């Protein structure tokens, strides 16, 4: 459903109401009123036939179960759970309406954990070490089920359509080249041309720590709750392990080295050119360089186990599951983490350099940004194709051209993709409908065409033929280059040439929108009351004034013939009452 945003700079219009309030569930699918999994009642008719078939079967089963007892209920609960593993989130919601047993089993199904982790990874504060010692399975936080976590996170996906509060962090003395969010620790990490790494409090926007000058331009940061890595133009990767006793986790300033040597700075050598990108997962660290290689380091020993060679300078990388996605020159690569073998190569995906790459956590979808100002989306489950009149690969299932300058950075948090460009703007794209339309079966949202720049004058931009819609632009207050962007559940952080780090805070968007909708409802109610037709009494009172009331004495001199019927009748009743007494 296309939304038209009329307001910028944090002001949302009725598009929010159209996107969040139109879905009205039927009585048979009342579970949708309990959990909102983002299913639009106006889904496009191009929905997957296979997915529709599954939904129809499940809905038919629920309808039959309300009229006759199903044999499936007689099965052991463990066997029913095995059946539920083959259903998606929408089908699980529908089948939970059938009976109390199905509702309990559907809520406890470990499929919800897979749904959550496939879209957003592990929740903040959880790690593989949290797995239960008896079952070896990853358990949800105490007091919550995976279903509740999934529903709450899906609800928070709406916040990026709402109002925001923008903060600015000042401290860098030169352009900011890289930013990273660490929501689990409530921190922001920034670095750039001033050769320092700075740590900030995410909520308060206050500085926590600053490193000594590293003697290089810092071009890349990778961080999680246990490890911080930075690298830049001197080809050295510097890492810090987390110190639990340290209030800001990482001793970048070197003040804890005498207390805890494990948290001291550790340099890693091996690259022969500037390091442009870094990545982390549970077992490895990855570094890409202009020496045309990516090095895979063991996280425990920091030993280099693989060296992945490219055909040009490596610009960006991102680890996704058992794969690494990377860009070099104008090409996009996919590598197997365990073997170090190249899995897939896409050539000439952009006109010029491909500066940025991102991917879904499932590994199915790949996003790239390039020097031509375009953002492209690929499905790794589709076969490679070429346009007969173009040397550029046209296997992209979607394309946007939101920027006049090159796209230097991408950030993805399902379902939102954000790009930062040399023209100083940040563009936001919602990709959930494209994911639905392309489900690995050869159907695509649109065939790519040679891309053209389209000038944007409003918050939402419909591109030329073959281009998708940009849902929103975030105002930066400057036309200088935006070099980097990162995205959390309800925060967007960006840095660039103006030496300022900007944070867009959407955490109160749902609450603000709820108050706005309540205020609008009250205004509509008052307008209806004002527009209601007046009674005969109200019309006469407005015409004659308040002094000509029934109980007043000022109307005694007026002849009954000149008064309305209801006033004459009232006088007659009062006279009869006085005479009777």
Most confidently predicted of 252-266, 324-338, 454-468 = 324-338
Beta strands across the sheet bearing 207-210? 176-182, 187-192, 197-201, 207-210
| Average pLDDT rounded to a whole number, residues 348-355 | 95
How do residues 426-458 score in pLDDT, each as one tens digit? 999 999 888 877 654 444 443 333 333 333 333
Which of 107-121, 132-146, 170-184, 463-477 is predicted with the least confidence, judged by mean pLDDT? 132-146
pLDDT at residue 159, rounded to an integer: 84
The residue behind tokens 């197997």 is 336
Give the separation between CA 208 and CA 468, rounded to whole angstroms: 41
Counting runs of H as helices and runs of E as strands, what totals does the chain give? 12, 30
Q: What is the mean pLDDT of the chain?
A: 75
Lowest pLDDT segment from 20-34, 116-130, 162-176, 557-571:
20-34
The pLDDT assigned to 465 comes to 56
Exposure b/e, 299-314, CB count within 10 A at least 16 = b: beeeebebebebeebb
* ∠ Cα 225 429 368 (to 5°): 70
**pLDDT number for residue 581:** 41
pLDDT per residue as tens digits for the range 390-409: 444 457 899 999 999 999 99
Q: Which long-range contacts (CB under 8 A, 24 or more apart) does 192-199 make?
A: 192/217, 192/218, 192/483, 192/495, 192/499, 193/217, 195/232, 196/172, 197/221, 197/230, 197/252, 198/171, 198/172, 199/248, 199/250, 199/252
| pLDDT score of 461 | 46
- At 225, is the pLDDT very low, low, confident or very high (cuts 50, 70, 90)? very high
Upper half-sphere CA count for residue 237 (Cβ side, 13 Å): 32
Angle at CA 53, nearest 5°, toward 50 and 55?
A: 115
Burial tier of 452 (Cβ tally within 10 Å: 0-12, 13-18, 19+): middle
* Whether pLDDT at 53 is above 60: no
Spatial neighbors of 98 by CB under 8 A, at least 6 apart, are 61, 62, 65, 66, 70
Q: Are 331 and 347 in contact (CB under 8 A)?
A: yes
| pLDDT-based confidence at residue 319 (cuts at 50, 70, 90) | very high
Q: What percent of the chain has pLDDT over 70?
A: 62
The arithmetic mean of pLDDT across residues 214-220, rounded, is 94
Indicate the helix (H) or strand (E) that contains 305. strand 304-309
| Bigger pLDDT: 363 vs 315 | 315
Three-state SS string over 463-515 comes to: CCCCCCEECEEECCCCCCCEEEEEECCCEEEEEECCCEEEEEECCCHHHHHHH
Integer Cα distance of 311 and 289 in angstroms: 12
**pLDDT band, residue 286 (cuts 50/70/90):** very high
More confident residue, 278 or 392: 278
Least confident of 50-59, 222-231, 309-318, 491-500: 50-59
Task: Locate 178 and state its tokens.
Answer: 């890289």
Is pLDDT at 463 greater than 90 in this prediction?
no
Closest CA to 407 of 350, 456, 460: 350
Task: Compute the C-alpha angle 11/17/23, nearest 5°.
Answer: 155
Q: Predicted confidence band at 43 (pLDDT cuts at 50, 70, 90)?
A: very low
Q: What is the pLDDT of residue 350?
A: 95
DSSP lists the bridge partners of residue 191 as 178, 197
What residues are paired with 192 via a beta bridge?
176
Q: What is the pLDDT of residue 503?
A: 94
Q: Averaged over 475-485, what is the pLDDT?
A: 81
Using CB atoms within 10 Å of the CB of residue 337, give its burial: 0 to 12 exposed, 13 to 18 middle, 19+ buried.
Answer: buried
Is the pLDDT at 223 greater than 70? The verdict is yes
Is residue 33 within 8 A of residue 97, CB to CB? The reply is: no
Q: Which residue has the higher pLDDT, 459 or 258?
A: 258
Q: What separation, in Å, do the N-terminal and C-terminal C-alpha atoms of the chain show?
A: 74
- For the ranges 26-35, 74-83, 527-536, the lowest mean pLDDT is seen at 26-35
- CA 557 to chain centroid: 74
CA angle 233, 234, 235 (to 5 degrees): 90
With H, G, I as helix, E, B as strand and everything else as coil, classify residue 82.
helix
Window from 13-22, 98-107, 348-357, 474-483 with minimum mean pLDDT: 13-22
- Of 76-80, 200-204, 560-564, the poorest mean pLDDT is in 560-564
Is the model's pLDDT at 345 over the cut of 50? yes
* Cα of 215 vs its chain's centroid, Å: 36
Higher pLDDT, 462 or 69: 69
Q: Which two tokens stand for residue 526?
A: 């008052």
Q: What's the rounded mean pLDDT across residues 166-184?
A: 94
CA distance 334 to 380: 9
**pLDDT tens digits, 330-339:** 999 999 999 9
Q: What is the mean pLDDT of residues 103-127?
A: 68
Residue 548 pLDDT exceeds 80: no
- Contact by Cβ (8 Å): 388, 374: no
Neighbours of 43 (CB within 10 A): 12
CA atoms within 13 A on the CB side of 225: 14
Beta strands in 360-406 (DSSP E): 365-369, 375-379, 398-400
Instruction: Report the percentage of the chain scoring pLDDT > 90.
Output: 40
Q: What is the pTM of this model?
A: 0.71
Q: Are 365 and 378 in contact (CB under 8 A)?
A: yes
Taking residues 93-111, what's their average pLDDT?
A: 66
Q: Mapping DSSP to helix (H, G, I), strand (E, B) and coil, where does residue 285 land? A: strand
Give residue 106's pLDDT.
Answer: 65
The string of pLDDT tens digits covering residues 497-525 is 999 999 999 988 888 888 888 888 888 88
Helices (H), 29-157: 31-34, 49-67, 77-84, 89-95, 100-108, 111-120, 146-156
Q: Which of 499, 333, 315, 487 is nearest to 406 (CA)?
A: 315
pLDDT at 156: 78
338 secondary structure, DSSP code: T
Q: Is the CB of residue 349 less than 8 Å from the CB of residue 376?
A: yes
């Amino acid at each position: 459903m296309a939304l038209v945003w009329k307001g910028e700079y944090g002001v949302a219009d009725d598009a929010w109401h159209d996107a969040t309030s139109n879905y009205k569930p039927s009585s048979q699918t009342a579970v949708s009123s309990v959990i909102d999994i983002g299913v639009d009642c106006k889904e496009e008719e191009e929905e997957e036939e296979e997915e529709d078939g599954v939904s129809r079967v499940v809905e038919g089963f629920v309808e039959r179960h309300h009229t006759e007892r199903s044999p499936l209920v007689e099965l052991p609960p463990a066997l029913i759970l095995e059946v539920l593993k083959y259903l998606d989130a929408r089908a699980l919601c529908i089948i939970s309406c059938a009976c109390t047993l199905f509702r309990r089993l559907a809520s406890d199904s470990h499929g919800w954990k897979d749904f959550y982790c496939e879209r957003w990874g592990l929740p903040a504060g959880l790690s593989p070490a949290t797995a239960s010692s008896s079952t070896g399975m990853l358990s949800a936080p105490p007091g919550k089920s995976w279903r509740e976590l999934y529903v709450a996170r899906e609800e928070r996906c709406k916040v990026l359509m709402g109002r925001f509060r923008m903060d600015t962090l000042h401290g860098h003395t030169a352009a900011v080249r890289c930013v990273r969010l660490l929501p689990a620790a409530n921190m922001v990490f920034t670095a750039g041309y001033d050769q320092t790494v700075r740590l900030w409090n995410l909520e308060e926007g206050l500085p926590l720590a600053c490193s000594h000058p590293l003697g290089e331009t810092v071009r890349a940061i990778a961080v999680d709750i246990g490890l911080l890595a930075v690298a830049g133009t001197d080809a050295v990767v510097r890492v810090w392990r987390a110190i639990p006793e340290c209030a800001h986790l990482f001793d970048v300033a070197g003040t804890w080295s005498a207390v805890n040597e494990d948290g001291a700075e550790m340099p890693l050598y091996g690259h022969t050119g500037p390091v442009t990108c870094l990545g982390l997962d549970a077992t490895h660290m990855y570094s890409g360089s202009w020496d045309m290689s990516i090095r895979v380091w063991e996280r425990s020993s920091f030993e280099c186990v693989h060296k992945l060679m490219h055909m040009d300078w490596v610009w960006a990388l991102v680890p996704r599951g058992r794969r690494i996605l990377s860009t070099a020159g104008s090409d996009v690569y996919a590598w197997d983490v365990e073997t170090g073998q190249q899995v897939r190569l896409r050539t000439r995906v952009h006109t010029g350099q491909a500066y940025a790459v991102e991917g879904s956590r499932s590994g199915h979808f790949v996003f790239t940004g390039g020097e031509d100002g375009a953002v492209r989306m690929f499905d790794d489950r589709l076969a490679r194709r070429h346009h007969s009149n173009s040397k550029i690969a046209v296997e992209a299932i979607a394309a946007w051209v939101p920027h006049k300058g090159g796209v230097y950075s991408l950030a993805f948090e399902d379902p939102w993709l954000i790009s930062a460009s040399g023209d100083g703007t940040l563009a936001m794209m919602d990709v959930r409908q494209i994911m639905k339309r392309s489900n690995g079966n050869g159907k695509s949202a649109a065939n790519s065409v040679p891309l053209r720049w389209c000038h944007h004058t409003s918050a939402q931009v419909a591109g030329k033929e073959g281009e998708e819609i940009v849902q929103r632009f975030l105002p930066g207050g400057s036309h200088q280059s935006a070099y980097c962007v990162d995205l959390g559940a309800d925060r967007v952080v960006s840095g660039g040439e103006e030496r300022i780090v900007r944070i867009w805070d959407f955490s109160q968007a749902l609450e603000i929108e709820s108050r706005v909708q309540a205020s609008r409802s009250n205004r509509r109610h008052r307008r209806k009351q004002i527009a209601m037709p007046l009674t005969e009494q109200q019309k006469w009172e407005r015409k004659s004034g308040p002094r000509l009331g029934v109980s007043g004495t000022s109307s005694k001199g007026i002849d009954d013939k000149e008064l309305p019927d209801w006033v004459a009748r009232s006088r007659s009743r009062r006279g009869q009452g006085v005479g009777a007494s």
